[in-house]
Structure 1
Amino acid sequence: MDLGERPWDAVVRECREETGMTAVGPPRLLATVYGQPRAQRPYSTLQLIFDGGRLTDEQIRGLTLDAREHDEARVLPLAEWEALMPARDFARLRAVEDARRTGVAAYVDTWGDA
């Protein structure tokens, strides 16, 4: 977030900058993710993960990635991500998917502990 920026406004800006898409509301919080300080980042972090909805095939094809941030976009079933991600990252993804399915926001406090 930029100084003085509200979380949802940051989501809309970051989504536009990194994918070329404009996020639309209403904002639906899926998870809060806490990160412990560590050597390369000596401060705590707090991430808010919002529901971005389901993208159409056309929207996926129309993604325009910021090369400084991303080099690829993939759409895979949840189970296929497990082999591609570190265990703690997949645990976070699973918690977010559970929150999306159940409507109950998740709290993840293991992000950044490794």
Structure 2
Amino acid sequence: MSRPSTWLPRHEYIQQAPKAIVYASMLFTDTEDRPLCLRSPNRGEVWQLPGGVMDEGETPWETAVREAHEETGITVTGPRALLLTHFATIDKAWTVPRIGFVFDGGTLTPDQLSSMTLDSDEHDGWDVRTLAGWEAEMIPANYARLAAACAARHHPRDAYIETHDTAATPTA
């Protein structure tokens, strides 16, 4: 069977294929099941989950583990429980879509929370709040991602969301 004439050589196909930024995050909660978020002064004091953009050669899980450690000092070893896949469309701030993965980082004790060491270049504060408490503090896309990840943690199922809010760009 011959290959169709419209097929491109692999290197040409890769050059023209759609591109995306890939990020990964960890959802941590305290012993009262309140999600942990970090405040980023570099992004207008945006609250977000610990996480960031994937480095070359990393898997999404490795990215989430690395970013959680860099941003909080917490080392996550597993299990590798994926809670959510997130797709954010192109908008004014991002010229390519973003694809994100939110993993379950587990429950942190009060001692673990108090001993966190934030990367001061990225975050100037942390807090744990109920979902209702986070809704008023977070940009809509970040809150949608947080709420969907929390729901997936309590009602295990495949979770996927898309955000299209051009006024409020989701951050990792």
TM-score greater than 0.5 by the shorter chain: yes
Query: 1:57 aligns to what?
Result: 110
Any runs of at least 4 consecutive aligned residues in structure 1 with deviations exceeding 4 A, and if so which? Answer: none
TM-score, normalised to structure 2's length? 0.62
SS of the equivalent of 2:93 reads coil
| 1:100 corresponding residue in structure 2 | 153
Cα gap change, 1:40/1:87 in structure 2, threshold over 3 Å: closer, same or farther? closer
Aligned with residue 32 of structure 1, among 82, 85, 89? 85
Number of aligned residue pairs? 114
Q: 2: distance between equivalents of 1:10 and 1:41?
A: 20
Distance 1:73 1:9 in 2: 22
| Residues in 1 aligned to 2:86 and 2:138: alpha-carbon distance in whole angstroms | 17
Q: Displacement of 1:112 after TM fit?
A: 5.1
Partner SS state of residue 53, structure 1: strand
81-90 or 24-33, larger mean C-alpha shift? 81-90
User: Larger Rg: 1 or 2?
Assistant: 2
Instruction: Give the direction of change, closer, same or farther, for the CA distance of 1:52–1:88 in structure 2 (3 Å limit).
Output: same
RMSD: 1.4
Match of 1:69 among 104, 122, 135: 122
| Match of residue 75 from structure 2 | 22
| Distance in structure 1 (CA, Å) of the matches to 2:153 and 2:64 | 17
Shift of residue 29 of structure 1? 0.3
| Higher fraction of strand | 2
The aligned counterpart of 2:30 is none
Extract unaligned runs of 5+ from structure 1.
none
Aligned runs of 1:72-87 on 2, under 5 Å?
72-87=125-140
Q: Which structure has greater helix proportion?
A: 1
- Percent identity reads 43
Structure-1-length-normalised TM-score: 0.91
Is 2:92–2:166's contact at 8 Å kept on the other side of the alignment?
A: no
